[in-house]
C-alpha cells in the first residue's frame, strides 16, 4: 500500500514496520525559501527513490542511480538486519574558463536504511549494478510449516 503525502510524489507507507523512512512535514519548504537551483539539485539526489518488492523467494530492492559507478555505491548490513544503501555523486570540476548555462544534474550524498524482516537470509545478500540500476537481492528463509502428528484414539 503506497501513500502519497500532500501531492509530493513521495511514496511511503506509514503502516510499514520495516521502513525507517520518517515523514518530514517541512520537506520541500527549503526550495520555496531558497531559490538556488543547486540546493534543489542536491536534495533531489539525496532523496534517492528505492523500490522494495517481496517475492516468494526473496526481498528485492531496486534503486535508480544514473551516472554512478558501482565503486561509488555502498551496500552494507548494520546490526545484522538493517540494509544500508549509500553513495555519492561528486560535482563536476569547474574550470575558470567554463561558462555554465544550466546545472540540472543532481549531486551529493544519499543514504537509505531498511529494517529487514526476520525471514531474511542476511548471510546470502547479493548486489549488482547494471545500466545505472542497483539491484539488491535478499533471499528469504523457507517458512517452517508446523509439523502435524496424528494421534490414534484408543477406547471402545
- This prediction's pTM: 0.62
Q: How far apart are the first and last CA of the chain?
A: 56
Phi, psi of 111 (to 5 degrees): -155, 125
**Looking at residue 55, what is its pLDDT?**
95
Number of Cβ within a 10 Å radius of residue 83? 25
**DSSP-derived secondary structure letter, 124:** G
**Looking at residue 92, what is its pLDDT?**
72
Identify the residue with better confidence: 33 or 147: 147
- The CA distances from residue 45 to 42, 67, 76, 117, in Å, are 5, 12, 19, 27
**Looking at residue 31, what is its pLDDT?**
46
**Looking at residue 120, what is its pLDDT?**
94
Average pLDDT over residues 128-144: 92
- Beta pairing, strands 108-115 & 126-130: unpaired
pLDDT band, very low/low/confident/very high, at 20 (cuts 50, 70, 90): low
pLDDT band, very low/low/confident/very high, at 13 (cuts 50, 70, 90): low
**Looking at residue 111, what is its pLDDT?**
92
Domains in the chain and their CATH numbers? Answer: 52-90+107-139 (2.60.40.790)
Identify the residue with better confidence: 103 or 19: 103
The rounded distance, in Å, linking the Cα atoms of 108 and 32 is: 20
pLDDT band, very low/low/confident/very high, at 125 (cuts 50, 70, 90): very high
Q: Which tens digit of pLDDT belongs to each residue from 63-111?
A: 999 888 999 999 999 988 999 999 988 777 777 788 878 877 777 888 9
| Cell of residue 38, nine digits | 543547486
Amino acid at each position: 500500500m503506497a501513500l502519497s503525502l500532500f501531492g509530493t510524489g513521495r511514496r511511503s507507507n506509514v503502516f510499514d514496520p520495516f521502513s525507517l523512512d520518517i515523514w518530514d512535514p517541512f520537506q520541500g519548504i527549503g526550495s520555496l525559501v531558497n531559490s538556488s537551483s543547486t540546493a534543489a539539485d542536491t536534495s533531489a539526489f539525496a532523496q534517492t527513490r528505492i523500490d522494495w518488492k517481496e517475492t516468494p523467494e526473496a526481498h528485492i530492492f531496486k534503486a535508480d542511480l544514473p551516472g554512478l559507478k558501482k565503486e561509488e555505491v555502498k551496500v552494507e548490513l548494520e546490526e545484522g538486519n538493517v540494509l544500508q544503501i549509500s553513495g555519492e555523486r561528486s560535482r563536476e570540476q569547474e574550470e575558470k574558463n567554463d561558462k555554465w548555462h544550466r546545472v540540472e544534474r543532481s549531486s551529493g550524498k544519499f543514504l537509505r536504511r531498511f529494517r529487514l524482516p526476520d525471514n531474511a537470509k542476511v548471510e546470502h545478500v547479493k548486489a549488482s549494478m547494471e545500466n545505472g540500476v542497483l539491484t539488491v537481492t535478499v533471499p528469504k528463509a523457507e517458512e517452517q510449516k508446523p509439523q502435524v502428528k496424528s494421534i490414534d484414539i484408543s477406547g471402545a
